[in-house]
């Protein structure tokens, strides 16, 4: 799919190729059309995305999408304040929860990251993440034109890690930037691109 441009879906609308993967077309299409690449602001909303991108590391995004409501229930709606108060008993509860990805290191990172962010002032996480939004760059024509890592994602990753966040490498940081609208990586012919 790397060299492909936007592809028409069953409704005739052109989309980024990943938005039309056959086995999961409805799930991916809904996420692609209504969420991916649209600006996300707000500390709890960005914390949710940081967590989900970290849990996705090494897995299919579809796995995360299909368990998203389970994650929201398990992590108190991704309220930074509430998750920061989680105890070791909460971590053990999460390890037994079939509605999420039961990875000890990722669960510990999600709780630890909340503890870090809870110590900041209101809006500080949002301000930090958005301060790494890059200047506009050429519109990608094919999936091969979309990078996995950029200097900005590397810098954001480095700053988040410096402040105590975990599971936020440069690739995860770039996926966050794409998902939260810091960059618009919808392909040139994708019908969603014009909505941004």
List Cβ neighbours of 113 (8 Å cut-off, separation of 6 or more).
47, 50, 51, 54, 164, 165, 166, 167, 168
Read off the DSSP letter of residue 9: -
What's the rounded Cα separation, in Å, for the pair 40 and 196?
12
**Which tokens belong to 84?**
């920061």
Q: Measuring CA to CA, which residue among 187, 194, 196, 192 is closest to residue 5?
A: 187
Q: Which two tokens stand for residue 165?
A: 């966040």
CA atoms within 13 A on the CB side of 110: 36
CA neighbor of 182 nearest in space, from 122, 148, 133, 113: 133
Task: Write out the catalytic residue numbers.
Answer: 31, 53, 61
């Amino acid at each position: 799919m790397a060299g492909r441009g936007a592809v028409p879906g069953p409704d005739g609308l052109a989309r980024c190729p990943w938005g039309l993967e056959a086995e999961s077309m409805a799930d991916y299409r809904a996420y692609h059309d209504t969420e991916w690449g649209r600006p996300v602001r707000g500390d709890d909303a960005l914390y949710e995305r940081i967590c989900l991108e970290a849990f996705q590391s090494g897995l299919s995004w579809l796995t995360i999408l299909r368990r998203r409501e389970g994650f929201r229930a398990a992590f108190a709606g991704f309220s930074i304040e509430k998750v920061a108060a989680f105890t070791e008993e909460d971590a053990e509860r999460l390890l037994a929860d079939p509605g999420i990805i039961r990875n000890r290191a990722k669960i510990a990172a999600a709780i630890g990251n909340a503890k870090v962010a809870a110590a900041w002032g209101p809006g500080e996480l949002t301000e930090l993440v958005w301060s790494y939004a890059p200047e506009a760059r050429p519109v990608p024509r094919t999936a091969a034109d979309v990078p996995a890592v950029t200097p900005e994602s590397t810098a954001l990753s480095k700053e988040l890690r410096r402040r105590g966040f975990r599971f936020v490498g440069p690739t995860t940081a770039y996926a966050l930037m794409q998902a939260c609208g810091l960059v618009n990586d919808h392909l040139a012919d994708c019908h969603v691109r014009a909505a941004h």
